[in-house]
Amino acid sequence: MQEKVRVRFAPSPTGALHIGGGHTALFNWLWARHTGGTFVLRIEDTDLQRSTSEYEQTIMEGMRWLGLDWDEGPDKGGDFGPYRQSERVATYRKYAEQLLEEGKAYREGDAIIYKLPEEEQVVAFDDVVYGHIEIPTSTYKDIVLMKSDGTATYNFAVVVDDYTMDITYVIRGEDHIMNTPKQILLYEALGWRLPTFAHLPMILGKDKKKLSKRQGATSVYEYRDLGYIPDGVFNFLALLGWSPGDEEIVTREKAVEIFELSRVVKRAAVFDMDKLGHINQEHLWRLPKSELVAHVRPHWEALNLPAQEYSSEYLEKALELLNGRGQTTQEIAGYSDYFLSFDAVCQRYDASDLDEEAREILRPFLKALLELPSWSDEELAAFAKSWAEEKNVKMKSLAMPLRFALTGMKVSPGIFEVAVFFGKDEVRRRLEHYGLV
Separation CA 52–CA 325 (nearest Å): 41
**4: annotated active-site residue:** no
pLDDT tens readout for residues 228-267: 999 999 999 999 999 998 889 999 999 999 999 999 999 9
Separation CA 127–CA 140 (nearest Å): 20
Question: In Å, what is the CA distance from 160 to each residue of 14, 99, 147, 390?
Answer: 22, 12, 15, 85
Q: Are 323 and 353 in contact (CB under 8 A)?
A: no
pLDDT at 309: 97
User: How remote is the C-alpha of 307 from its chain's centroid?
Assistant: 26
Tell me which H or E stretch contains 106: strand 105-108
Considering the candidates 213, 367, 385, 396, report the single residue annotated as catalytic.
213
pLDDT at 1: 40
pLDDT at 206: 83
pLDDT at 2: 57
Separation CA 181–CA 186 (nearest Å): 9
**β-strands 111-114, 143-146 pairing:** antiparallel
Q: Are 278 and 311 in contact (CB under 8 A)?
A: no
In the chain, the domains with their CATH numbers are: 295-433 (1.10.10.350)
pLDDT tens readout for residues 28-43: 999 999 999 999 999 9
**If you compute the radius of gyration of the chain from its CA atoms, what whole number of angstroms results?**
30
pLDDT at 217: 54
pTM of the predicted structure, to 2 decimals: 0.93
Which parts of the chain have pLDDT scores under 70? 1-2, 212-217
pLDDT at 208: 82
Alpha-carbon torsion 281, 285, 291, 294, what sign?
A: positive
Question: Which strands sit side by side in the sheet containing 131-136, from one edge to the other?
Answer: 38-41, 6-9, 169-173, 196-200, 122-127, 131-136
Q: Are 396 and 362 in contact (CB under 8 A)?
A: no
pLDDT at 3: 81
Separation CA 79–CA 166 (nearest Å): 10
